[in-house]
Amino acid sequence: MIPAANPGAGYRALKAEIDAAVARTLESGWYILGQEGKAFEQEFAAWLGAGHAVGCGNGTDALALALRGLGIGPGMAVVTVSHTAVATVAAIEMAGAVPVLIDIDPLHYTMDPVELAEVLAHPPSGLPPIHAAIPVHLYGQAADMEAILAVCARHGVAVIEDCSQAHGASLNGKKLGTLGAIGTFSLYPTKNLGALGDGGVLATDDAELAARIGALRQYGWRTHYVSDAVGVNSRLDELQAAILRVKLRHLDAGNARRQAIAAHYDAALSDNAMAPPARRPGGTHVFHQYVVRVAEREAAQARLRKEGIGTGIHYPVPVHRQPAYRDRVALGPARCRASEAAAREVLSLPIYPELTDLDVTGVVEAIGRSLA
């Protein structure tokens, strides 16, 4: 069986280095916000090409902290997409703001900048003013940042990039997460950069903003036991930071391996007259997911399962259709119709660096038999 994701294989591939980092941290006697966390933040910021990075508890908190750090909360609205992890929308409400969900460009599955412009020029009635937009770099490649940044700048709207599926991806030579005011990253075990537990990190060039968010993640403490602001508790622990420092050193190689696997899948799909996933011009795709569209998805998924190939669906229900959000969350004029169509048809093939060439050949052959 080739599972859809395999974080255990990611650990075993780096076992000696990770075990040494864990042992070193356990022996240090310091487990929260110490040298490992600080070193990870510095190494991550340097790798990304950002001025500062701040670790936190998970990717959802990274988004909520980014919003709070920018002063966005109650009495304000934030635009994002419905075709995303529910976490993106949950974070907006955690910060106390009101989400407005717009549709995707169905080719790249990312925020439609034309509808964004429409919503910013003519906000849906009954909503507080829109103060931020959160484009999601879904599946491993960039949203249309040139257009999004331009329209947001015109309206004085802050841009937070949700990079939780795009560690290492770039657009026009710049890494995602360095284009907006803040870039946020989940470090959940299956992400391209994954901890062995929960973790998150955000990046910004603004030193003052980074310091403010660094305080917000720990009760608003500027110094110990003195809260300047009302904060939360969302810290990246030392064990995860030590593990992430190891994993960060192997991230570029892991992304290259994902790209090589994607090239094999491309060829197999072209032979079947099925379109491989579109790449945004000027961008590099790091294939957090390799997503195809299949009309009879459940049948195709069952055929692949019989062949021993696990697949995923990201995501089967758009956020505005989920019980917790439907009938109350504000939508843009396109009513998220492309998101609903995508949710019915998307299918994610296994793609992670530890897949062997033999595994990839097995998947390619199964695609030939199952998706023809």
**Could you list the residues that contact ligand PLP (CB under 6 A)?**
58-60, 84-85, 87-88, 136, 162, 164-165, 186, 188, 200
Q: Which is nearer to ligand PLP, 164 or 311 (CB)?
A: 164
Which is nearer to ligand PLP, 88 or 218 (by Cβ)?
A: 88
- Minimum CB distance to ligand PLP, residue 198 (Å): 6
CB of 141 to ligand PLP, least distance (A): 12
Q: Rounded to the nearest whole angstrom, what is the least distance from the CB of residue 361 to ligand PLP in the complex?
A: 29
Nearer to ligand PLP, 203 or 269 (CB): 203
Strand stretches in the chain, DSSP E = 52-56, 77-81, 98-102, 104-105, 110-111, 130-134, 158-162, 170-171, 174-175, 182-186, 200-204, 221-223, 226-227, 283-284, 290-293, 330-331, 346-349
User: Shortest distance, CB of residue 189 to ligand PLP, whole angstroms?
Assistant: 9
Residues 72/133, Cβ–Cβ less than 8 Å:
no
- Residues 6 or more apart whose CB falls under 8 angstroms from that of 49 comprise 174, 175, 178
Q: For ligand PLP, give the closer residue by CB, 112 or 162.
A: 162
* 315: preceding bond cis by omega (within 30 degrees): yes
Calculate helix-pair angle for 113-121, 145-155, nearest 10 degrees.
10
Q: Which is nearer to ligand PLP, 66 or 366 (CB)?
A: 66
Match 């603004």 to its residue by tokens. 206
Residue 122's contacts (CB-CB under 8 Å, 6 or more residues apart) are none
Name the minimum Å distance from CB 330 to ligand PLP: 20
In terms of CB distance, is 21 or 87 closer to ligand PLP?
87
Q: Which is nearer to ligand PLP, 144 or 162 (CB)?
A: 162
Rg (CA), the chain: 20
Which residue is nearest to ligand PLP, using beta carbons? 59
CB of 90 to ligand PLP, least distance (A): 8
**How big is the CA angle at 285 (ends 279 and 286), to the nearest 5 degrees?**
155
Strands 130-134 and 158-162: parallel
- CA–CA dist 318, 325 (Å, integer): 10
Smallest distance from ligand PLP to CB 348, Å: 12
